[in-house]
Amino acid sequence: MIERLARILSTVVWVVVAFAVTASILWVSGYSVTEVFSGAVQGAVTAVGAFVSTIRWTIPLFLIALGVTIGFRAGFFNIGGQGQFYVGACAALVVSLGWRAGPAWLVISAGMAAAVAAGAAWSLIPGYLRVRFGTDEVLTTLMMSFIGALVLQYLTAGPMRNPQGTGQTAASERIPDAFRLTGSSGVSAAVLAAAAVAAAAVWLLLERTRFGLSMDLAGRNPTMARWQGINIQKVGLVSFGLAGALAGFAGAVELFGPAARLITGFSPTVGFNAVVVALVGMLSVPGVALSALFFGGLQSAILFLPIVTDVPPPALTLLHGMVALLVTVRLRARRRRASGGPEPVET
Amino acid sequence: MEQVLATTLRAAAPLVYAALAGVFAFRAGIFHLGLEGLMITGAFIAVAAGQAAGSALVGLLAAAAVCMVLSVLFWWVIGPLRADAIIAGLGLTSIGLGGTAYALTAIFDTRGTIFTEVVLPRPVRGVTEGWGVVVSESSILVWLMPVFVLASWVVLRRSRFGLRLAAVGEYPFAARSAGVDPSRMRLWALLIAGALCALAGAELSVGALRNFTENMTNGRGFIAFVAVIFGAWHPIGAAAAALFFGLADAVGTQSQINITEAVPREFVLMIPYVLTIAAVWLGGLWRRRSLEASAGYAELRAPDD
């Protein structure tokens, strides 16, 4: 209990430090910190439509971060959420543009299923290499992310390109309106319910099942877990598969929800931000929900800020970086490297 | 042909410097995912300071200084503060990308691009025919590449410092027993890596071009990291891998013009990543086999590994 409180405290402290450093950078460069702060509160909560926009940005972060949580809990550094998210969105796009005449409920279900399968497959390639051959998953998931971004670029610039598009960045055709789950706000009862079901399922899996416990044990101490008869390979494959499935699902929700079409390189940092969200949420489902809401609010705030002040939006990337730099401080990394890379920093 | 070679060299130069940076960090046992952030910072400072001082060389030195300061920060977080190097490295990358884009607006009051008149020296200029095309208009940093690669090799493989660094990376406990301070060695490695990343960034902004653009590194820091792995964390291997990726980039650029119908550009650009997954996979297999063959290895490893 004390240990848990200490972890919460240390996480909160380092997030506050990251905010303070970013705020002082804003201050030094001549922006009014109070103005930015009140603008951020307006943009995230109080302004018209602000809270809806916060939720819109929370949902993808939350879903991907749930996947990251599963991976990290089982001791696998699956940081490929970005690519899994992209291929999920791409799969849903291919289904819904390829079957425009289909009944909406069927196309949406098929698109979701394709997205989940594509995301899981994208994650299982590094996952299989990791559990079968001990290939380092940090590298391979990172590589799969880059490949996923190129798949998206290929689809939006090639076969799925909107021929009427005039913009410089390639974009796909829009999916038929009948397939949309939300308006452009990106929030509707269906989407919220889907996120809630995913969250409840992950929570049950991690906290209330034997399998969740064996994941935790494998993450904490693989040797002991193996001695207790846990099949580490199975745990690994399932955790990689589920992480990819959740990220792929997030991609489908993005397409059927707010986006309606895919643009090359959309939400380019959501996968990495989700890792930050998962770590700030301390790898527990309620914690991740809170931290996703918080970072979703920040995203919404930063889009709103230009209305009230002239702070450049990249300030948000800077802040994310600061949080990532500091959030794992003193949190003893539960991680051993596979053979193929150097040992973690040990001092 | 000459044109492809020229494009290859131009595309490879920043990758080579950043890959050398990655090799130094890797030798010290650090997976340096902050290369991208340091590169973009170097690119920005080289333009901003170079423009202010009216000399690209001054800009280059300033870039190196700033990148080394950031490297000390990175070292402090992952060393004494014991943060996770992977996450902190990705954080450093975000800080670099976000910070430079932010500074572009905060200092120069613009979004997108700033131009500059300063440029690094270009020893050979204005050749338009024959093999001279390959090096024509290349900045001094392109010419100095072999020097840096060989110097890195000498330092890492033939000097006391390099051997100590390798000891720290491979088995910090043994290094400490032998009286080497792993923490201090890592600081040195990261400082060198920071300076090399600054060179990589400066080559992009004031070497090959005369501007700084938001996100102009465009993932090159990660490709360089890939080159480190692909080149088996050997300076010459990593440089060769970087040149190969430069070639892939050049061919990708060409195929955009010539054979788009046959092979879409995106698939050519995937080659480095796919090859790296294969290399890491096969490298791990090979390594495991050779390690299993060597006696006494088991004593050095945790029982579960």
Distance CA A311, CA A309 (A): 6
- Give me the CATH code for the A2-327 domain, please: 1.10.3470
**A149 pLDDT band (50/70/90 cuts)?**
very high
| A/B interface, count of CB pairs below 8 Å | 198
Find the mean pLDDT for residues A196-224: 92
Tens of pLDDT, residue by residue over B79-138, are 888 888 888 999 999 999 999 999 998 888 888 899 988 889 888 887 777 777 777 788
Strand partners, B212: B114
Helix/strand/coil for B30: coil
Task: Please give the Cα distance from A148 to A153 (Å, whole number).
Answer: 9
Of A126, A317, A329, the CB nearest to B94: A317
Nearest Cβ partner for B94 among A153, A320, A341? A320
Residue B212, H or E segment: strand B211-213
Q: Parse chain B into domains and list their residue ranges.
A: 2-293
Q: Contact, B254 vs B8, CB < 8 A?
A: no
Q: Which site among B36, B44, B90 would you substitute to test the A interface, given the most A Cβ atoms closer than 10 Å to its Cβ?
A: B90
Alpha-carbon distances, residue A98 vs A155, A182, A242, A283, B132 (angstroms): 13, 21, 26, 38, 51
- Confidence bin at A313 (pLDDT 50/70/90): confident
- Whole-number Å distance between alpha carbons of A341 and B163: 18
B90–A144 C-beta distance less than 8 A = no
Mark yes or no for CB contact B267/A153 under 8 Å: no
Six-digit token string for B277: 């997954």
Model confidence band, residue A206 (pLDDT cutoffs 50, 70, 90):
very high
- Residue with structure tokens 């890195």? B152
The residue written with tokens 């709103």 in the block is A304
Q: What is the arithmetic mean of pLDDT over A11-39?
A: 90
Averaged pLDDT for residues A42-55: 91
**What is the helix (H) or strand (E) element at residue A246, kind and residue range?**
helix A232-254
R_g of chain B, CA atoms, integer Å: 20
Q: What is the ipTM of this complex?
A: 0.86
> Which pTM was predicted?
0.87
CA distance B126 to chain A (A): 32
Q: Which two tokens stand for residue A153?
A: 């670029």
Domain spans in chain A, listed from the N-terminal domain onward: 2-327
Any idea which residue has 């201050």 for tokens? A27
Contact A325 B91 (CB under 8 A): yes
CB A249 within 8 A of CB A116: yes
Report the pLDDT value the prediction gives residue B269, as an integer from 0 to 100: 82
Q: How far is CA B272 from the centre of its chain?
A: 15
Structure tokens at A238: 């399932």
Beta bridge partners of A161: A172
Q: Which chain B residue has the Cα nearest residue A144?
A: B273
The one-character DSSP state at A173 is: P
Return the CATH fold of B2-293.
ABC transporter involved in vitamin B12 uptake, BtuC (1.10.3470)
pLDDT of amino acid B134: 79
pLDDT bin (cut points 50, 70, 90) of residue B276 is confident
Residue B43, phi then psi, degrees to nearest 5 = -60, -45
- DSSP-derived pairing of the beta strands B211-213 and B113-115: antiparallel
With CB atoms and an 8 Å threshold, state whether A342 touches B102: no
Say if residue B288's pLDDT is above 70: no
- pLDDT tens-digit series, residues A96-140: 999 998 899 999 999 999 999 999 999 999 999 999 888 888 889
Q: What is the pLDDT of residues B129-178, one digit of tens each?
A: 777 777 778 899 999 999 999 999 999 999 999 999 999 988 888 888 88
pLDDT over 60 (residue A337): no
- CA–CA distances in Å: residue A157 to residues A163, A168, A321: 10, 11, 30
Whether residue A328 and residue B31 make contact (CB cut-off 8 A), yes or no, is: no
pLDDT at position A344, please?
47
| Cross-chain Cβ contact B26/A342 below 8 Å | yes
- Please give the Cα distance from A150 to A340 (Å, whole number): 26
pLDDT at B132: 77
Whether pLDDT at B224 is above 80: yes
